């Protein structure tokens, strides 16, 4: 049986390697390695026009919405906080369209950090734009450019609790978090300060978001579960009329592209 093909969304950033310094579609290699170690094949999904999402998603067995820049607050009806990074409209619009198509097909989706936040916003939820103001400490993002460990406790009875029961330390690096839950989502894990650290859909066979970085542990149960779900059941083709409605919603909801700004 062929290994399931998992699409990983990417940054669109100015990067330097060897003697080159150019715009690049890039992603930390830990994502590739983690999915491959779990038994999946990997294809990278750099930002594209939203209209391309249906064709791309139809070729895949699962999706990972990866980490990265802050989600544009306009997508959940908020003004930007001073600590919120500049929006990257190309990425927001592309990932919104990819997620819409994946959900319509009941395709397995894993959202990591920013990806979990996008899952929540797509379902109508909102975000805390600067978490230290809400929890009174910087424990979720201690050092710029480095992952820090903190404890999360999963909620009994959820999918994530079946994979990771109880309390454990995870790799974290985030200054934003889920505020109000989107429709059809439940909390899968929290930290001691009450921050939501995992969410999952009650409407789909495998749609899970984690605020931490499972790609930093190559035996991650969460990533193995995504690949297993992608292998087990073919996704359902969406009805053409519903797909058209989703693409129209993406165009209405996402802000116009005014340039590309990348932040880490």
Q: Is the pLDDT of residue 211 over 70?
A: yes
**Which domains, from first to last, does the chain contain?**
5-15+23-253 (3.40.50.880)
pLDDT recorded at residue 135: 67
pLDDT tens, residue by residue, 242-261: 444 444 344 334 444 333 33
C-alpha–C-alpha distance, residues 8 and 26, integer Å: 10
pLDDT tens, residue by residue, 168-195: 999 887 788 999 999 999 999 999 999 9
pLDDT recorded at residue 258: 36
pLDDT recorded at residue 245: 43
| Catalytic residue IDs | 113, 213, 215
pLDDT tens, residue by residue, 76-108: 999 999 998 999 999 999 999 999 999 999 999
- Name the DSSP letter for residue 263: -
C-alpha–C-alpha distance, residues 68 and 264, integer Å: 6
Q: Is the pLDDT of residue 4 over 70?
A: yes
pLDDT recorded at residue 67: 94
SS3 category, 208:
strand
Mean pLDDT of 138-149: 69
C-alpha–C-alpha distance, residues 117 and 65, integer Å: 10
For residue 248, give both structure tokens.
């129209």
Higher pLDDT, 41 or 85: 41
Q: pTM of the full predicted structure?
A: 0.87
Mean pLDDT of 60-74: 96
% of the chain at pLDDT higher than 70: 85
% of the chain at pLDDT higher than 90: 72
- Name the DSSP letter for residue 217: S
Q: Is the pLDDT of residue 40 over 50?
A: yes
C-alpha–C-alpha distance, residues 90 and 195, integer Å: 29
pLDDT recorded at residue 139: 55
């Amino acid at each position: 049986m062929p290994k399931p093909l998992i699409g990983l969304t990417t940054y669109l950033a100015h990067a330097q390697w060897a003697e080159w310094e150019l715009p690049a579609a890039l992603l930390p290699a830990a994502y590739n390695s983690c999915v491959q170690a779990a038994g999946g094949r990997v294809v990278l999904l750099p930002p594209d026009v939203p209209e391309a999402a249906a064709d791309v998603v139809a070729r895949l067995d699962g999706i990972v919405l990866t980490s990265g820049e802050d989600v544009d607050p306009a997508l959940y009806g908020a003004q930007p906080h001073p600590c919120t990074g500049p929006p990257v409209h190309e990425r927001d619009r592309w990932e919104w369209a990819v997620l819409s198509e994946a959900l319509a097909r009941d395709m397995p989706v894993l959202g990591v950090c920013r990806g979990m936040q996008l899952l929540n916003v797509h379902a109508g939820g909102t975000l805390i734009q600067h978490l230290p103001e809400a929890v009174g400490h910087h424990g979720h993002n201690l050092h710029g450019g480095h992952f820090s460990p903190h404890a999360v406790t999963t909620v009994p009875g959820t999918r994530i609790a079946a994979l990771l029961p109880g309390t454990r330390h995870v790799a974290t690096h985030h200054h934003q978090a889920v505020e109000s839950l989107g429709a059809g989502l439940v909390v899968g894990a929290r930290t001691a300060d009450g921050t939501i650290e995992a969410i999952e859909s009650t409407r789909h066979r495998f749609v899970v978001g984690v605020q931490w970085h499972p790609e930093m542990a190559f035996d991650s149960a969460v990533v193995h579960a995504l690949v297993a779900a992608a292998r087990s059941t073919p996704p359902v083709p969406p009805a053409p009329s519903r797909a058209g409605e989703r693409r129209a919603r993406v165009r209405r909801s996402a802000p116009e592209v005014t340039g590309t700004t990348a932040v880490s």
